[in-house]
């Protein structure tokens, strides 16, 4: 919980607030297009008029709202990863100012990994949605576990790639899987809470920066720890 609490404490940072607003605006635009597409499909494909068309409009609106509830975190996470470097730099500037500039995997690989993170969270959330419908109660727990893995592993590896190559990033994740998945579980749970879910992408990236710092070489003074581990 400590990495998440430290991330929450930094929400007053203008850099994080700027990313948060951008992420929210892009997410809102995405769901507006989803709702508009659903209404268009009803009229274009069904060809109905009158009260039947009204009922279908209502049903499509409800379906869009349900999808928005379950798919907001994956979409926001995908968008948030596009700002991953900005979030990480803001966290490092406040908590780890002695760090050298990030020089891990190539930028193209980091961007691709961000897209993969969003796609993985989206796919696994869809699985969770189906399970929640087929297995009420149990399905929600399974969906939560899926979200914990997708968010935890995805964001941690994406953050680690800023300073490590992929092989070492995966190795650090494997050595700290428990802490990463626990953090992912808290973030996934927050994803089901209105308003709190809006903060998940920014808090997730910020928390993973703290987890990575703690994981690379525990027990050493901060300055020597980071310089030795990334040098």
**Per-residue model confidence as pLDDT tens for the chain (231 residues):** 788 999 999 999 998 888 888 877 777 776 677 666 666 665 665 555 556 666 666 666 666 666 666 666 666 666 667 788 889 999 999 999 888 887 766 667 667 776 777 677 777 767 777 777 777 777 677 778 877 888 888 889 888 988 888 888 889 999 999 999 999 999 888 877 777 777 888 888 999 999 998 888 554 444 434 343 443
Which pTM does this prediction carry? 0.74
pLDDT of residue 165: 83
HEC string of the chain?
Answer: CHHHHHHHHCCCCHHHHHHHHHHHHHHHHHHHHHHHHHHHHHHHHHCCCHHHHHHHHHHHHHHHHHHHHHHHHHHHHHHHHHCHHHHHHHHHHHHCCCCCCCCCCCHHHHHHHHHHHHHHHHHHHHHHHHHHHHCCCHHHHHHHHHHHHHHHHHHHHHHHCCCCCHHHHHHHHHHCHHHHHHHHHHHHHHCCCCCHHHHHHHHHHHHHHHHHHHHHCCCCCHHHHHHHHHC
pLDDT of residue 227: 40
pLDDT of residue 51: 60
pLDDT of residue 171: 92
Domain spans of the chain?
2-27+70-230
């Amino acid at each position: 919980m400590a990495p998440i609490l430290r991330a929450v404490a930094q929400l007053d940072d203008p850099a994080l607030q700027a990313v948060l607003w951008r992420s929210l605006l892009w997410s809102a635009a995405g769901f507006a297009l989803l709702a508009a597409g659903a209404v268009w499909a009803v009229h274009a494909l069904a060809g109905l008029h009158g009260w039947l068309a009204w009922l279908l409009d209502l049903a499509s609106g409800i379906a869009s709202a349900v999808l928005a509830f379950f798919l907001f975190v994956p979409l926001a996470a995908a968008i948030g990863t596009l700002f991953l470097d900005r979030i990480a730099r803001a966290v490092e500037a406040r908590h780890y100012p002695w760090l050298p500039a990030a020089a891990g995997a190539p930028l193209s690989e980091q961007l691709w990994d961000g897209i993969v993170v969003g796609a993985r969270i989206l796919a696994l959330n869809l699985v969770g949605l189906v399970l929640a419908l087929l297995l009420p109660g149990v399905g929600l727990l399974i969906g939560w576990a899926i979200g914990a893995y997708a968010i935890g592993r995805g964001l941690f590896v994406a953050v680690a790639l800023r300073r490590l190559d992929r092989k070492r990033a995966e190795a650090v994740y494997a050595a700290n899987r428990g802490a990463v998945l626990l953090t992912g579980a808290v973030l996934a749970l927050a994803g089901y809470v209105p308003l709190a879910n809006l903060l998940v992408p920014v808090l997730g990236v910020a928390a993973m920066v703290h987890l990575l710092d703690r994981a690379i070489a525990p027990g050493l003074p901060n300055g020597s720890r980071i310089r030795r581990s990334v040098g």
